[in-house]
Structure 1
């Protein structure tokens, strides 16, 4: 069964909805979910917050956090997930922020993607180093990883 179908099934079984806050994936997670017929029972809304201004305005990410650690950070990923929950009617959120490439720096290399999930007070955050796979492959890997994290968060949701 496709990850999107498994997420839809889990949402229906638990009576919850999900939301996505995406930066480097540009809506790919929401698109993967809406590829599944009946996804309106699972996906409440998605936020594509590519710019820092969008992260602040749409999700309530702190400008101070952005200034201190930058958009590609676990701190911002957590604030994005929390903001997605606060600005939606969903019960579970996933966020993605990263460097898809080309480029990057020694400090933040291409292929670094930070993820967070939030479900009530349960927040998880992690960074994946996908490496310089090229922009398309980093974005696909980030999408798939975010979907898996969303399913894991749903599994832990009562």
Structure 2
């Protein structure tokens, strides 16, 4: 993950992660890279709903209304990771790695959140019933890609912002 570490270093930004179904895989992938201590603040592994509430400030009402595997929860996880860290960008992951799932929320559905100090965006990816290990790895890779893409975008200067 040298490209991610290099991009964060170039922007002077710290990263936080909020992970459920990946259980810390994104944090591990980042911290496997030499120099990551300059850009990685912390990771939250919030596997249970109670952990999501206690560690990230996810609202019980959001969990009740939408379920843990939802873009609404991914949004609150990402914003919570920013609020409870020193990071300027955070990614969140919540999904159903399998086995199992339901007709409404099938195996392989993973919701992501990406928050920075200006905005939050969410998305859902249907990886399909690839098996637990492959869904978790695909989700980890996708989250890392989201971070790299966000950190690789040019920053507009104050003079450009008014054009």
TM-score w.r.t. structure 1 length?
0.96
Instruction: State the Cα deviation string for residues 51-104 of structure 1 (Å, max 9, x = none).
Output: 000000000000000000000000000000000000000000000000000000
Q: Between Structure 1 and Structure 2, whose CA radius of gyration is higher?
A: 2
Identify the residue that residue 127 of structure 1 maps to in structure 2. 124
Are 1:87 and 2:84 counterparts? yes
Identify the residue that residue 114 of structure 1 maps to in structure 2. 111
Identify the residue that residue 32 of structure 1 maps to in structure 2. 29
Contact 1:61 1:76 in 2 (8 A): yes
Contact 1:19 1:85 in 2 (8 A): yes
The alpha carbon displacement at 1:155 in A equals: 2.2
Match of 1:7 among 4, 7, 19: 4
Q: Gaps spanning 5+ residues in structure 1: where?
A: none
The alpha carbon displacement at 1:24 in A equals: 0.1
Which whole-Å CA distance do the structure 1 matches of 2:55 and 2:44 have between them? 8
Which whole-Å CA distance do the structure 2 matches of 1:157 and 1:24 have between them? 31
- SS of the counterpart of 1:146? helix
The alpha carbon displacement at 1:124 in A equals: 1.2
Which whole-Å CA distance do the structure 1 matches of 2:134 and 2:151 have between them? 26
Are 1:145 and 2:122 counterparts? no
Which whole-Å CA distance do the structure 1 matches of 2:16 and 2:95 have between them? 18
TM-score w.r.t. structure 2 length?
0.93
Query: How many residue pairs are counted as aligned between the two chains?
Result: 155
Moved over 2 A (4+): 155-158
Which whole-Å CA distance do the structure 2 matches of 1:95 and 1:7 have between them? 16
Instruction: State the Cα deviation string for residues 18-64 of structure 1 (Å, max 9, x = none).
Output: 00000000000000001101110111000000000000000000000
Which whole-Å CA distance do the structure 2 matches of 1:14 and 1:145 have between them? 21
